Amino acid sequence: MTIAIGQYIPGNSLLHKADPRTKLIMTLFYMVMVLLIKDFIGYGIAATFLIITIVATKIPFKIIIKGLKPIAFLVIFTMVLNTLFYRVSGDPLIDFWIFRIYTEGILFSIRMAIRIVILVSGASLLTYTTSSIALTDGIERLTSPLKKIGFPSHDIAMMMSIALRFIPTFAEEADRIMKAQSARGADFDSKKITEKIKNYIPILVPLIVCAFRRATDLATAMEARCYRGGNGRTRFRVLSFSKADLIILIFCLFLGAAILSEKYLLF
């Protein structure tokens, strides 16, 4: 079982060396730009920038593709719903029973599928190129101004970092449990949905038990190291902006200019 979010792949690329705050801002900016896109040309621009970034990080495309497998059902489900229930004026392309399928609906469902794939791939690059410790520091530093109104920035950053860190761990644990259940006769490849659901239920109990056990072990380890929150803590690595961050910022500005120009000026 492959989960993209939460994994970190060490490297020496420009994106790996950049400040985690820059990468967080870049990811949010990229997501906003993708959400503004309404046509295939815009998605082509966003996909081109994403491919350039993936090539620059030297992360194999097969890892990106494997990371998209868990959302395959979501993409297909979204496409089916948008195709069947999209309504416009005019004659439908296909008309059967209570469903009317329009050409516009098919194109809209394809655009939504492309949007989901691009958003997930872009978000995955953040964790592929940023360790959980650096990500925690970046989130805490970005939200530190909110401490003046009582926002627990360190605690929130720590919880988010731990959650991201344990996503692939629990995915591996679920895969191990599934293999053990398969050895005992469970059929996870059944074509019947009810049978699949029935076979997946026994996985939940040992997975929940494993989650509580790991949480207890983590809490014990943190207490043994005298962890008491963010007050008075120092950092081994002090975050600072560099030329890599400037290059990434310029790259993001080019992306924003290209998407906004295509959306409001060219077409």
Where on the phi/psi map is residue 185: left (φ > 0), alpha (ψ -120 to 50), or beta? left
- What DSSP assignment string belongs to 123-153? HHHHHHSS-HHHHHHHHHHHHGGGGGGT--H
pLDDT tens digits for range 99-151: 778 888 888 899 999 999 999 888 888 888 888 778 888 888 888 888 788 88
pLDDT of 191: 67
Distance in angstroms (rounded) separating the CA atoms of residues 18 and 23: 7
CA 6 to mean position of chain CA atoms: 9
- Please report, rounded to a whole number, the percentage of residues in the chain having pLDDT higher than 70: 90
Distance in angstroms (rounded) separating the CA atoms of residues 260 and 254: 10
Distance in angstroms (rounded) separating the CA atoms of residues 123 and 24: 9
Cα angle vertex 237, ends 24, 26, to 5°? 10
Cα–Cα distances in angstroms (integers) from residue 160 to residues 72, 91, 149, 195, 210, in the given order: 25, 49, 20, 35, 19
**What are the structural domain ranges in the chain?**
14-165+239-266
pLDDT tens digits for range 178-236: 888 778 776 666 667 677 677 777 788 888 888 888 889 988 988 888 877 766 666 66
Q: For helices 132-143 and 153-183, give the axis angle rounded to 10 degrees.
A: 150
Cα–Cα distances in angstroms (integers) from residue 188 to residues 73, 142, 168, 175, 180, in the given order: 16, 43, 20, 11, 12
